[in-house]
Structure 1
Amino acid sequence: MSIRTRTTPLTVVALAAGLALAAVTPALAGTTASAARPAAVSTAQGDPRNVTQRVTDFYGAYIDAVWDNEDPAAAADAKALRDFYLSASARKKVTAWEKKNHADGILFAQNVPVKWKVTYTGSGMGHATSRVTLTWSDGKHPEVTRIDVQSDLTTRKITDLKPAK
């Protein structure tokens, strides 16, 4: 028997085992194969000097913290993020809105979005404005809301948030 004849069955068995493991691993992890795949963009970058990037960083981290509400550190994380990214006056406005509306004053909602996007919309008079688009469901016609976020160009702090019209 030649070496080639003996290695072919071993190659087939190894290949089949690898394919079976690849098919079973997402199920064992509690995810589907499509959920286990990385997003279309596999790298990310940022610039701490860019105020729109900072709004993006804030909303990404804030939504992660609020989404993980069963984690004991989540509430402290969300508060720390507010303290770091928002100016004192913006925090006061958010707190007042929350008391009046009994909802989250960063998301302007009682629940947490499944997706978010931030877009630069303009600047002037020492401020930049970004539009945050929050997507609340998956599917063909997901519910979407938008928030206009104003940031100070010098301090890079968020100075105002309001639902977009």
Structure 2
Amino acid sequence: MSHRTKVRGAVVGVCAVVLLAGPGLLSAPAQAGDRTAPNAVAETRASKPVAQVTRFFDQYLEAVNGTNPNMNPTEVRNEFLTPQLNARLDAWAEANDADPVFRAQNVPQSRDVRYEGSGAGHATVVVTEHFGGSTIDVWYQVPLSGGRITDLRDAPQ
């Protein structure tokens, strides 16, 4: 087979792929580091809930520490959590004599946030709170469609 025949075959193959792929192939160019479509969709699905929980946790931590000049802890909770969740957290705090968000009597020194999965229209995001030598996992539930955090619980047993 000649070089010209090979090139012609490659061009025909590329044209066939473009025609079969449709207009999606010609949409916005891929960004550096983009992954395959299923991974990109999962990553996008995960990024918003993780960002929302991270913003909430960090603003709440600053408010508890007195370094959030704009809001106190109650105001942060009211902005990010549903009223139903806030009521449950108030009851939990009273029953456990501890901060209902941190699930502890003291303030964590640092935190890690990870996407755990999604189902039934909600994402699960886990915050691992670091208290010196110990950690606590707190599980958050966030609607995939956006909106306020709907649940916050201790790690499943």
Which residue does 2:75 correspond to in 1? 80
Kindly tell me: are residues 66 and 87 of structure 1, through their superposed partners in 2, closer, same or farther at Cα, counting changes over 3 Å? Answer: same
- Note the alpha carbon deviations across 1:70-127, whole angstroms, 9 max, x for none: x6968x5211110010011111110110111111111111110000111000011110
Paired with 1:156 and 1:103, the residues of 2 have a C-alpha distance of 26
Which residue does 1:98 correspond to in 2? 93
Paired with 1:72 and 1:148, the residues of 2 have a C-alpha distance of 24
Amino acid at match of 1:144: T
Unpaired runs of 5+ in structure 1?
Answer: 1-48
Paired with 1:54 and 1:127, the residues of 2 have a C-alpha distance of 13
Contact 2:63-2:76 within 8 A present in 1 as well = no
TM-score by length of 2: 0.65
Paired with 2:147 and 2:111, the residues of 1 have a C-alpha distance of 20
Q: Percent identity?
A: 33
Find out whether 1:55 has 2:53 as its counterpart: yes
Contact 1:117-1:134 within 8 A present in 2 as well = yes
Which residue does 1:65 correspond to in 2? 63
The SS at the match of 1:50 is helix
Which residue does 1:112 correspond to in 2? 107
Range with bigger deviation, 151-160 or 81-90: 151-160
Amino acid at match of 2:49: V
TM-score by length of 1: 0.62
Unpaired runs of 5+ in structure 2?
Answer: 1-46
Which residue does 1:37 correspond to in 2? none
Contact 2:124-2:142 within 8 A present in 1 as well = yes
